[in-house]
Amino acid sequence: MSATVAPHTGLSAHVGVDLGDFTLDVELDVAAGEILAVLGPNGSGKSTLLRALSGLRAIDRGRITLDGTVLDDPAAGTLVTPEARPVGFVFQEHLLFDHLSALENVAFGLRARGVRANDARSSARRWLDRVGLGEFADARPSRLSGGQAQRVALARALAIDPAMLLLDEPLAALDVRTRQDVRRSLREHLATFPGVRILVTHDPVDAYALADRVAVFEGGRVAQVGTISDVTAHPRSRYVAELVGTNLVRGVVADGVLTTDHGAHLVVAADPGPVFAVIRPQAITLSLGTDPTSSARNVLTGTIADIDRLGDRARVGVDGPIPLVAEITIGALEALDLRPGDPVHAVLKATDITTYPV
Amino acid sequence: MTRRDDRAQLPAPVFVLAMVAIAFFALPFVGLLWRAPWGSMLGVLGQESVRTALWLSLRTSLVATALAFLFGVPLAWLLARVPFPGNSAVRALCTLSMVLPPVVGGVALFFSFGRRGLFGQYLDQWFDVRLPFTTWGVVVAQTFVSMPFLVITVESALRQMDRRHEDAARTLGGSRWYVFRRVTLPTIRPALIAGGVLAWARALGEFGATITFAGNFPGTTRTLPLATYLALETDPQEALVISLVLIAVSFAVLIGLRERWLSGARAALT
């Protein structure tokens, strides 16, 4: 493709968008060549972020700068329309144009930018070959499988040679097996893409497989940002804790006792001050009876909320002063004959609680 | 087998009434076909007066359909996409002629665009344009009654289409106008065709507004429906033949729409 060397300095974005009673207010810096995964529950503002970055939604506050060019700055009255932004967008449901062949779909962006039909087509053909779908050039999108269609959509977004690539849950609409194929294809093409890449997902597996850094969105704000290993080891929100399958408690430590926001107590080995405490579900023992004697310093009494069987293990939710999830073997589950609603003691050692400052 | 089972489950009074309804629609055609002068068919169709009326009808209805597309698609887009106050009132106004007696439409056109009409007098004075009792008057009357069919069909398709395709096209570098031509219009193609054919059929069959606004002059304003009505008094055979032509056209339209475009439109919208 073109041999021009653009000074890729990356994305610097402060995005403030008001949508009725929802407000998105996030600041993100993504270096050229970096892949940022945006994780978050539904309605946390992930898709709104991408709409703002692509120009489909003008921001109400803040400023978006890509490779030194201001794309949106309401205070200065600057707004670059979506068609004029060097941004490729891959949507959750490929959104290929049904009335055009796969080849014409990939050529669409070049044609829209005034490239002559023949040049656009030969360039589109190279992109189709690159995603391994050269033989489907003449096929209508309705004839393609979900995975093939998503790869065509990727080629279509890359064909315009964008400086930034936005991917909005590109794997979410695919079945499990296709997802792996497309994930592999994505990894390959994301690796060779020189610009900014932002991947919105609610699946931490995608983030693990594809991203350098993770930003976790909650309620329209960045709850946490960092490398993936950092975020998963030190979750700072209940959402992230649930994603990585662990228990997160927030509270204040004084004299070796953590007091939660709801007034429950945990004995911990930690310095005083406000902390997050992570408790691995495998570290929690469940026991019945009136008053279990144990060397463990923490005995929390509650009732069983739910039981999820996962292979030879079971995750047991315990409602109590501190809601916890414990992971025990199926053997233990059956030996104790646990049922939802049963009273139970959750037992854990102070040394099994990892704490870090808020 | 299933057919017989279904019929057995239908309550007898419902079945009988449905049969009466079918007969009600079928019998007029039986009567018409029974009296049709099959032998002299080609002779009647070859008559100067019939050929003139046929040619006039084709020309005016096609021009009316073209005008319906030119103005009706933008109108449908406005109604479907722009949430302005009074949107539904404007829609009601623009589709009123579908339910209005056509004669009333013709009277309204006459008092607005007639030579002495509120606007017609200025058309006459300033532009030397006279619509009533001219072929353009026929076109205006036909457009007036037929455009709503296109508007409501296209509007509903525009409302139901997945607008994210337009978003995708814009992120690929398409201007609003480019996206409208290359994505929006092709996506609603089935509705454009269905609406266009319905509008054309309505224009072809227009009678009331035409005879009121444009009169009944052979060669300039006497379209096929007018010629049919006139012939019934002078030459019933001719009326029969023209009616058969119009029935054949309507049937072809209906079957064509059913088989192809309506199902296509439905598939595109779901």
Q: Identify how many contiguous H helices and E strands chain B contains and give both numbers.
A: 16, 0
Q: Which residues of B touch A100 (CB under 8 A)?
A: 186
> How far is residue B153's CA from residue A351's CA, in Å, rounded to a whole number?
70
Three-class DSSP category at A204: helix
> How far is residue A110's CA from residue A274's CA, in Å, rounded to a whole number?
55
User: Alpha-carbon torsion B165, B167, B173, B177, what sign?
Assistant: positive
Q: Which residues of A touch B171 (CB under 8 A)?
A: 54-56, 82-83, 85, 87-89, 157
Out of B171, B175, B183, whose CB is closest to A89? B171
Q: How many pairs of residues across A and B have Cβ atoms under 8 Å apart?
A: 69
The minimum CA-CA distance between B165 and chain A, rounded to whole Å, is 6
Residue B19 forms part of a structural domain: no
Return the structure tokens found at A288: 């019945």
Out of A85, A89, A111, whose CB is closest to B168? A89
Q: Which residues of B touch A80 (CB under 8 A)?
A: none
The minimum CA-CA distance between B41 and chain A, rounded to whole Å, is 44
Residue A121 CB neighbour total at 10 angstroms: 18
- pLDDT score at A352: 87
pTM of the full structure: 0.78
**Interchain contact, B171 vs A98, CB within 8 Å:** no
CATH, residue B260: 1.10.3720.10
Domain count along chain B: 1
Residue A13: which H helix or E strand, with range? strand A11-19
Q: Exposed (0-12), middle (13-18) or buried (19+): which is A122, by Cβ within 10 Å? A: exposed
Return the structure tokens found at A151: 């790869």
CATH of domain A250-357: 2.40.50.100
Instruction: Calculate the CA dihedral of residues A323, A329, A335, A337 and round it to 10 degrees.
Output: 40
Out of B170, B182, B183, whose CB is closest to A83? B170
More confident residue, B70 or A228: B70
The minimum CA-CA distance between B260 and chain A, rounded to whole Å, is 16
Length of chain A: 358
Residue B253 forms part of a structural domain: yes
**Of the candidates A230, A204, A226, the residue with the CA atom closest to the CA atom of residue A215:** A226
One-letter amino acid at B114 equals G
Residue B16 exposure: Cα atoms within 13 Å on the Cβ side: 3
Mean pLDDT of B232-255: 85
**Of the candidates A89, A80, A85, A42, the residue with the CA atom closest to the CA atom of residue A58:** A80
> How far is residue A267's CA from residue A253's CA, in Å, rounded to a whole number?
9
- pLDDT score at A2: 40
Chain A residue at shortest CA distance from B180: A112
- pLDDT score at A3: 40
Three-class DSSP category at A91: coil
Q: Which residues of A touch B269 (CB under 8 A)?
A: none
In angstroms and rounded to an integer, the radius of gyration of the C-alpha atoms of chain B is 22
Chain B residue at shortest CA distance from A96: B165
Residue B162 touches chain A, beta carbons under 8 Å: yes
Do residues A283 and A354 make contact, with C-beta atoms less than 8 angstroms apart?
no
A202-223 b/e (C-beta count within 10 Å ≥ 16 → b): bbbebbebbbebbbbbbbbebb
Residue B191: which H helix or E strand, with range? helix B189-204
Q: Which residues of B touch A51 (CB under 8 A)?
A: 167
Q: Which residues of B touch A87 (CB under 8 A)?
A: 171
Residue B18 forms part of a structural domain: no
- pLDDT score at B268: 47
Percent of chain A topping pLDDT 70: 97
Q: Which residues of A touch B169 (CB under 8 A)?
A: 97, 108, 112
Q: Exposed (0-12), middle (13-18) or buried (19+): which is A118, by Cβ within 10 Å? A: exposed
- The most distant pair of C-alpha atoms in chain A lies apart, rounded to whole Å, by 81
Rounded to the nearest angstrom, the gap between the alpha carbon of residue A102 and the centroid of all alpha carbons in its chain is 29
pLDDT above 90 (res B234): no
- pLDDT score at B261: 54
Q: 3-state SS of chain A: helix, strand, coil percent to 5?
A: 30, 35, 35
Domain residue ranges of chain A, discontinuous segments joined by +: 11-239, 250-357
Residue B260 forms part of a structural domain: yes
- pLDDT score at A316: 92
Residue B181 touches chain A, beta carbons under 8 Å: no
CATH of domain A11-239: 3.40.50.300
Residue B165 touches chain A, beta carbons under 8 Å: yes
In chain A, which residues have pLDDT < 50? 1-6
**Of the candidates A296, A338, A335, A303, the residue with the CA atom closest to the CA atom of residue A318:** A303
**Interchain contact, B167 vs A109, CB within 8 Å:** no
**Interchain contact, A112 vs B167, CB within 8 Å:** no
Residue B197 forms part of a structural domain: yes
The minimum CA-CA distance between A146 and chain B, rounded to whole Å, is 16
The minimum CA-CA distance between B254 and chain A, rounded to whole Å, is 25
- pLDDT score at B191: 92
**Interchain contact, B186 vs A160, CB within 8 Å:** no
Rounded to the nearest angstrom, the gap between the alpha carbon of residue A208 and the centroid of all alpha carbons in its chain is 9
Return the residue in A85, A108, A115 with the most chain B beta carbons within 10 A, the one to mutate for interface testing: A108
**Interchain contact, B171 vs A88, CB within 8 Å:** yes
pLDDT tens digit sequence for B6-41: 556 778 899 999 999 999 999 998 988 888 888 888
In angstroms and rounded to an integer, the radius of gyration of the C-alpha atoms of chain A is 25
Rounded to the nearest angstrom, the gap between the alpha carbon of residue A352 and the centroid of all alpha carbons in its chain is 28
For B184, the domain range is 46-78+85-269
Phi, psi of B255 (to 5 degrees): -65, -45
Residue B193 exposure: Cα atoms within 13 Å on the Cβ side: 19
> How far is residue B253's CA from residue A203's CA, in Å, rounded to a whole number?
52
The minimum CA-CA distance between A168 and chain B, rounded to whole Å, is 12
Out of A88, A99, A112, whose CB is closest to B178? A112
**Interchain contact, A99 vs B165, CB within 8 Å:** no
Please measure the distance between the N-terminal and C-terminal CA atoms of chain A and give it in whole angstroms.
48
**Interchain contact, B183 vs A160, CB within 8 Å:** no
Out of B172, B186, B187, whose CB is closest to A160? B172
**Interchain contact, B167 vs A56, CB within 8 Å:** yes
pLDDT above 90 (res B169): yes
